[in-house]
Structures are given as C-alpha cells and as structure tokens.
C-alpha cells in the first residue's frame, strides 16, 4: 500500500545548508534509502548520497534518521510513524561534504595509527592454526562493516571536536582489542604493548562506557561489553594492578 510521506532532508555543504521539506511516495517494503533514491529520481536530482550494497553490508549509507545514527538501507519505512515527518541528516560527528555525504577520513587516519597484526615468528602464511574458542572473540569484532555509526554517535568526539586527535573511537579501540585477543599476534615480541598503548596512545580513558556505540551498531557487536571494557580491564592489569604485576614477575607464563 503506497502513501505519501513527509521527509525533511538536510541539503547543503561545508558553507551552510538547511533542512528541506519533501513529500514523496513510499511503497510497501521500502527502506529509507529507497525513498532517498526516489527523491533523486523525481524532485532532487542533485541530492548527494553515498551508498553501495543496499544490504547492510558495505557500511556506506550511514546517516541520521530522526536524529538517530542508522544505515538508511536497513531502516524500514514500516518501522517509522507514517504520519510523522522523517528527518534525514548526514552524520553529525564528521565534516560535511555535501547533502548526506560526510568526510569520514578521520576514521582512516585513526586506522593507520593502530599497529597492524604482527605475524608470529617461524610460522609461514597458510600454516596458522588456531582453535575456534581462541578466535571467537576476535571474530565477533570482524563482523564490523566500518559504517562508522559508532564513531558518529560517540559523544567523546561528536560533542568535542578537540578530542579527535587523542581518541581513536570505539571502532578502532575494538580493533586494538581484537588484535590483543588474537592468539597468534606477536606484537608484544616486537615491543608493542597493545594494552598500554590503548590507554596511552589511543585514548581508551576517554571512553566512559555509556554504550551508545553498542546501541547503534547495525551488526549488533557488543562493542562495550566485549571489546572496550575488556580492554579497560587489560589496561588495569598493566597500569593499576600491583598484584597482576607481581604475579607476572614471579611466574612468567604465556596466558
């Protein structure tokens, strides 16, 4: 059953912009991205929007729908009140380029700051053998589609531009956790202490675990409970727990 929906879409660029009202047809089974595409096809041919797979797997169509960070392709119109206006804006934590498209290069910059996986000595590619229970935790984090909705909603950088240099954001702290939990990562042998660097170089202490990253994750990754808090506890092991320090001195054992 088709109906006419009232949309307000942010139009503009870095020099300014405004919310523009549109009335647009909606068909049964459609998602917000379908409606945005219909706008492009009808009355707003120059509306800029970034998208690719339309299946919730590429992480391109991140935006804010009625003020909530979401993927446009995964937000069904049937989940929204059909009598209420649907407001669509670009992500508000990143510099806007045009209309619904933002510059997410902050995230690429942060990605480069995380030391990559260090292959173990004496094990050639193709010879890696790991038990499933040892990689379960990291595999949850590998579901990340890098839509950057968690980065967008995290108030540490969303509400405080000045924190961007010091804080990697939930997605990349999760990357640190993933590598620190990786059974074959040999970073420690090369002098990289991921636990310590999470706090000292990537700003783990800025996270006050208010769980917005987990709330918005379209892959339903438990970012806070399974990555950020375990990482905080690992940093505590290194920096604030004399018992753990003493234990590691007395009895060196590869955990």
Partner 1 sequence: MATGTDPRTTAPAPTEAPGGVHHASRAAIPARHLRIDRWWLAPAATAGGLLAFVVYSTWRAFANADYYAAPYVSPFYSPCVAKNCVPMKDGADWGVFGTWWSLSPALLVLIFPLGFRLTCYYYRKAYYRGFWASPPACAVAEPHRKYSGETRFPLILQNVHRYFFYFAVLVAGILTYDAVLGFRDADGAWGHMGLGTLVLLANVALIWAYTLSCHSCRHIVGGRLRNFSKHPVRYRMWGWVSVLNARHMLLAWASLVSVAVADFYVYLVASGAFDDPRFF
Contacts with partner 1 in 108-127 (CB under 8 A)? Answer: 108-109, 111-112, 114-116
Q: Which is nearer to partner 1, 37 or 164 (CB)?
A: 164
- The verdict on 208 binding partner 1 (CB under 8 A) reads yes
From 140, 49, 38, 138, select the one nearest 97 (Cα to Cα): 49
Query: What φ, ψ does residue 47 adopt, rounded to 5°?
Result: -70, 125
Nearby residues of 145 by Cβ (< 8 Å), 6 or more positions away: 56, 57, 58, 59, 218, 219
Euclidean distance between CA atoms 65 and 54, whole angstroms: 16
- The verdict on 177 binding partner 1 (CB under 8 A) reads no
- The verdict on 82 binding partner 1 (CB under 8 A) reads no
Q: Which is nearer to partner 1, 28 or 85 (CB)?
A: 85
Task: Give the count of residues interacting with partner 1 (CB under 8 A).
Answer: 77
- The verdict on 215 binding partner 1 (CB under 8 A) reads yes
From 214, 236, 215, select the one nearest 225 (Cα to Cα): 214
**Scanning residues 4 to 43, which ones bind partner 1 (CB under 8 A)?**
10, 12, 14, 16-19
Largest interatomic CA distance in the chain: 72
Q: Which is nearer to partner 1, 27 or 110 (CB)?
A: 110
* In the complex, least distance from residue 144 CB atom to partner 1, rounded to whole angstroms: 9
Euclidean distance between CA atoms 198 and 229, whole angstroms: 12
- The verdict on 95 binding partner 1 (CB under 8 A) reads yes
Choosing from 39, 106, 170, 218, the residue that interacts with partner 1 (CB under 8 A) is 106
Query: What φ, ψ does residue 70 adopt, rounded to 5°?
Result: -150, 165
- The verdict on 189 binding partner 1 (CB under 8 A) reads no
């Amino acid at each position: 059953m088709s109906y006419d929906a009232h949309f307000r879409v942010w139009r503009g660029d870095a020099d300014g912009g405004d919310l523009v009202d549109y009335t647009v047809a909606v068909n049964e089974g459609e998602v917000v991205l379908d409606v945005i595409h219909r706008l492009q096809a009808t009355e707003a041919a120059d509306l800029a929007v970034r998208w690719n797979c339309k299946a919730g797997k590429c992480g391109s169509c991140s935006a804010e729908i009625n003020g909530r960070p979401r993927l446009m392709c995964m937000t069904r119109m049937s989940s929204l009140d059909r009598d209420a206006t649907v407001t669509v804006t670009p992500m508000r934590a990143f510099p806007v380029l045009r209309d619904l498209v933002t510059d997410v290069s902050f995230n690429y910059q942060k990605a480069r700051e995380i030391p990559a996986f260090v292959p173990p000595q004496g094990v050639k590619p193709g010879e890696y053998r790991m038990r499933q229970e040892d990689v379960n935790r990291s595999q949850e984090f590998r579901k990340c589609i890098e839509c950057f909705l968690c980065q967008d909603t995290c108030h540490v950088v969303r509400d405080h531009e000045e924190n961007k240099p010091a804080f990697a954001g939930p997605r990349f702290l999760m990357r640190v956790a993933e590598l620190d939990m990786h059974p074959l990562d040999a970073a420690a042998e090369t002098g990289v202490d991921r636990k310590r660097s999470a706090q000292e170089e990537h700003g783990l202490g800025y996270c006050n675990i208010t769980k917005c990253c987990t709330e918005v994750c379209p892959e339903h990754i438990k970012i806070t409970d399974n990555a950020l808090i375990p990482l905080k506890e690992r940093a505590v092991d290194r920096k604030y727990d004399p018992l753990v320090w003493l234990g590691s001195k007395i009895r060196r054992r590869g955990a």
